[in-house]
C-alpha cells in the first residue's frame, strides 16, 4: 500500500542545478548585491542571534564542519568540508549543503545545496565588509589565489564597489588563465601577473584566497604599504594562515566572531588579548571602520554561520512561485502524531 505524503511532510530542496538556474534568472551581480544586503541587515541585528563557533572535525587532509545559527524565528545550519588536496582527484576543495527550519515547530522549511551558495555568500560578505573598510573610490584589486572562489570575489567587488581592474596571481598559472577566461566578458580589465609582488602594484584592495592547510606567507610585511585594505579569506582553520605576522601588527583588524577567528583566522598568530573589532560594531555605527587614508584595514574573514543563515533565507524567499526546487518527503506525518508505528504498518 502506498500512501501519499501530507503537504506538511514536504520540504523544498534546491539542487545545484536549481541554484544555478535561480542565479541566472535573477542575474549574478544582482544576486551578489541582494545577498550582501541580507548580510548587512543581519549584521545590524547581530546581538539577537544565538552564536557559536563552528563545530569542526579536523584530519590530516582537511576539515568537516557544522555551522549553526538562529535568530529566534528561524534556525539554520551548514555542513561544509575543506580538503585542499581534493583538486588532485578532480574533486572540489569545498562542498556544502544547508538547512533552514522554523523555530516554532522545529520543522525544516528548506534544504539546499551550499557549494555554489557558499561561494556567492563569501564573495558578497567580502564586498559588503569592504564598503566600510576599503579606501573610497578603489578601482583596482589584487586577487591572489585564483581557485574556485576568485571569479565570485572579483564580480562582487565590481558589483558593490565599482572595481574596474583585477590583477591575478596564483602559483598555478593555469588557475589564473582559467579565472581570466571566465572574467573575459565581465566588464573588468583583467591582468595575469607573474608574482604576488606584481599583482599588488597599484591595488587599493588585496584579496588573498589560497587553499593550502598550512602556515603560509602569501604577503610579506614589505609588500603592504599604507592605505590598503586586505581581504584575507584563505586562512580559515587552525594552522592555516596567509599573512606575515608583522602585517597584522600594523593593521586595524576586523573580524566576524572573535572566539572563532582567534582559533581559525590570521589572528591565531597573535596574543589572545590583541585588540580586534567585530564587523557588526562597524555596520551598527558603534565603531569607525576606515578612518584615515594611511590606515591599513584587514578583514580577517573565516566565514561565520550567520552568513549562511542570511544566504539560506534569501534563497527560501526567492524560490517561491518558481520551478527552481523540488519537494522532498522528508518528515513523517502520521494522522495521529503519537502513532508513528501505525503509520509504518499501514504502509505495507
Judge whether 194 and 83 are in contact, CB under 8 Å: no
CB burial readout 9-21, b (16+ within 10 A) else e: bebbbbeeebbeb
| Contact residues for 135 (Cβ-Cβ < 8 A; gap 6+) | 204, 205, 227, 228, 229, 290, 293
Would you please indicate which residues are annotated as catalytic (active-site) residues?
A: 236
| Residue 156 CB burial class (10 angstroms; 0-12, 13-18, ≥19) | buried
> At which residue does the C-alpha cell 555551522 appear?
67
| Greatest C-alpha distance within the chain | 73
Judge whether 243 and 219 are in contact, CB under 8 Å: yes
Write out the DSSP string of 91-110: --S--EEEEEEETTT--EEE
> Residue 156: which of 144, 147, 145, 166 has the closest Cα?
166
Judge whether 54 and 306 are in contact, CB under 8 Å: no
List residues bridging with 97 in a β-sheet. 79, 113
Q: Strand 108-113 relative to strand 10-14: parallel, antiparallel, unpaired?
A: parallel
> At which residue does the C-alpha cell 591572489 appear?
144
| Residue 212 CB burial class (10 angstroms; 0-12, 13-18, ≥19) | middle
Amino acid at each position: 500500500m502506498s500512501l501519499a505524503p501530507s503537504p506538511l511532510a514536504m520540504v523544498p530542496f534546491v539542487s545545484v542545478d536549481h541554484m544555478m538556474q535561480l542565479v541566472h534568472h535573477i542575474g549574478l551581480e544582482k544576486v551578489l548585491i541582494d545577498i550582501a544586503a541580507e548580510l548587512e541587515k543581519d549584521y545590524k541585528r547581530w546581538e539577537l542571534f544565538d552564536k557559536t563557533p563552528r563545530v569542526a572535525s579536523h584530519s590530516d587532509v582537511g576539515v568537516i564542519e557544522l555551522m549553526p545559527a538562529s535568530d529566534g524565528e528561524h534556525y539554520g545550519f551548514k555542513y561544509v568540508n575543506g580538503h585542499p588536496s581534493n583538486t588532485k582527484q578532480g574533486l572540489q576543495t569545498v562542498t556544502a549543503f544547508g538547512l533552514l527550519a522554523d523555530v516554532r515547530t522545529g520543522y525544516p522549511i528548506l534544504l539546499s545545496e551550499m557549494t555554489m551558495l557558499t561561494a556567492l555568500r563569501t564573495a558578497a560578505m567580502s564586498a559588503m565588509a569592504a564598503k566600510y573598510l576599503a579606501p573610497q573610490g578603489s578601482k583596482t584589486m589584487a586577487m591572489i589565489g585564483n581557485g574556485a572562489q576568485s571569479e565570485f570575489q572579483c564580480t562582487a567587488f565590481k558589483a558593490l564597489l565599482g572595481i574596474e581592474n583585477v590583477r591575478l596571481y596564483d602559483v598555478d598559472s593555469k588557475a589564473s588563465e582559467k579565472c581570466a577566461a571566465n572574467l573575459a566578458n565581465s566588464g573588468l580589465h583583467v591582468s595575469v601577473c607573474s608574482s604576488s609582488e606584481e599583482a599588488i602594484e597599484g591595488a587599493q584592495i588585496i584579496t588573498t584566497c589560497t587553499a593550502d592547510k598550512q602556515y603560509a606567507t602569501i604577503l610579506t610585511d614589505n609588500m603592504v604599504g599604507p592605505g590598503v585594505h586586505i581581504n584575507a579569506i584563505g586562512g580559515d582553520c587552525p594552522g592555516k594562515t596567509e599573512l606575515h605576522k608583522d602585517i597584522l601588527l600594523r593593521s586595524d583588524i576586523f573580524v566576524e566572531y572573535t572566539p572563532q577567528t582567534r582559533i581559525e583566522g590570521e589572528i591565531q598568530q597573535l596574543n589572545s588579548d590583541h585588540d580586534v573589532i567585530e564587523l557588526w560594531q562597524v555596520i551598527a555605527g558603534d565603531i569607525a571602520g576606515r578612518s584615515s587614508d594611511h590606515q591599513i584595514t584587514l578583514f580577517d574573514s573565516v566565514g561565520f554561520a550567520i552568513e549562511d543563515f542570511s544566504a539560506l533565507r534569501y534563497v527560501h524567499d526567492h524560490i517561491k512561485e518558481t520551478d527552481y526546487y523540488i519537494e522532498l518527503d522528508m518528515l513523517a506525518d502520521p494522522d495521529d502524531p503519537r502513532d508513528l508505528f501505525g503509520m509504518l504498518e499501514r504502509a505495507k
